[in-house]
Structure 1
Amino acid sequence: MSESTTITADANIATLINVFTVTPDRQRELVDLLVRATEEVMRHLPGFISANIHASIDGTRVVNYAQWQSADAFQAMLDNPTAKEHMGKAGALAEQVDPHLHTVESVHHR
């Protein structure tokens, strides 16, 4: 967990941005579950690059920003029984789950 995520516009990777809508009393539980799922399962799967879990200050959102080597690697994760189990638990904690794969189109720095 000491490495940084690299975001570049010319990288040919699949970026998952998954927004979970939660009640504030469930936010910490969902964050902990996603951290555990990433450490125990996701980071060991072929094609995994990185994951970053964000919690909104108002307590109503959790965002998983994850990078996969390809859309196929991401799909293989979705088909993995252990990953499916974790994602089912995450979905049960959320009021809404909105996952989408993206490409990076532009990066800006100061």
Structure 2
Amino acid sequence: MPFISLEDNHLTVLNLFTTDKPENQDRLIEEMTKIVDAAAYEGWMSSTVHAGVDLPGTANFIQWRSGEDLEKRYSGEEFKHRTMPVFSEITTSIRLLQNEVAYVLTSDALGGKVEIGPHRDDYTCISVFTVRADGQDEAVDALGAAQEYFKDLPGFRSHVVLKGLRARGLDGTFVVSYSQWDSKEAFEAYRDQPAEEQPEARKAAVARIRAVVEGAPSTNTYQVVHTRAAGE
């Protein structure tokens, strides 16, 4: 199963799709699963498909050896003339985000290892923050190291910050947060905590993030439904 790690230096690609109907989400998952199960691209390492919970859509968390390998995939006839046309028919937006892992935090129970796969029951939240070009490093630190208090939150499992490198379908500079929780209830208890009850570290981190973001973050919650790694 795939792991997220600072040490591996993979190119991490997060493909985010939105749609307007639950049945289109089902079709997205079906099409993505077919692609994942048939994947044999040079440099491809793993793909993990997530099904949207709060909003219809999908996320595909993909690990590649390098950007050069990914560009070969993008330039291929299959991607241009079959994959993208099929997805364009059933989506309302497509964002293909290339990133590097910039920060990883886990609960003590996970021992620093972030694993993703349908064999787990993680309730996952993914947020995309568009930030000022000169504010990306500040956003990475404010979303990452400044939020070590996560370890004290009931139901917290892991928190990963991805530093955006380049994108299709998204303009500007960006940072992504990817977090795992025991349950929907645990995540919502954190998300909806009244400001007056929040720890000072959280308030300070939020202020730092607001100082560099441009517009509201794009957020959805997910459950992992399928994964496959090269060689499986």
Q: TM-score, structure 1 length as denominator?
A: 0.85
The residue type paired with residue 229 of structure 2 is H
* Higher RCO (CA < 8 A, seq sep 6+): 1
Question: What do you get for the CA RMSD once the two structures are aligned?
Answer: 2.1
Residue 106 of structure 1 deviates from its aligned partner by 1.2
Stretch deviating more after TM superposition (85-94 or 58-67): 85-94
1:23 to 1:7, Cα distance in 2 relative to 1, 3 A? same
Residue 101 of structure 1 deviates from its aligned partner by 1.0
Cα distance between partner residues in 1 of 2:186 and 2:202: 14
Identity over aligned residues, as a percent?
Answer: 32
Determine which structure has more spread, i.e. the larger CA radius of gyration. Answer: 2
Q: Is 1:95 the equivalent of 2:204? A: no
Partner residue of 2:226? 106
Number of aligned residues: 109
Q: Is 1:61 the equivalent of 2:174? A: yes
Q: Once the two structures are superposed, what CA deviation does each residue of 1:11-48 show, in whole Å capped at 9, x if it has no partner?
A: 22210101001122010001011113331x11210111
Mark the runs of 5 or more structure 1 residues left unpaired by the alignment.
none
The residue type paired with residue 209 of structure 2 is A
Structure richer in strand, relative to its length: 2
Cα distance between partner residues in 2 of 1:43 and 1:34: 14
The residue type paired with residue 87 of structure 1 is V
Residue 84 of structure 1 deviates from its aligned partner by 5.5
Q: Is 1:34 the equivalent of 2:154? A: no
1:102 to 1:87, Cα distance in 2 relative to 1, 3 A? farther
Cα distance between partner residues in 2 of 1:48 and 1:87: 18
Mark the runs of 5 or more structure 2 residues left unpaired by the alignment.
1-104, 106-110, 167-171
Residue 67 of structure 1 deviates from its aligned partner by 0.3
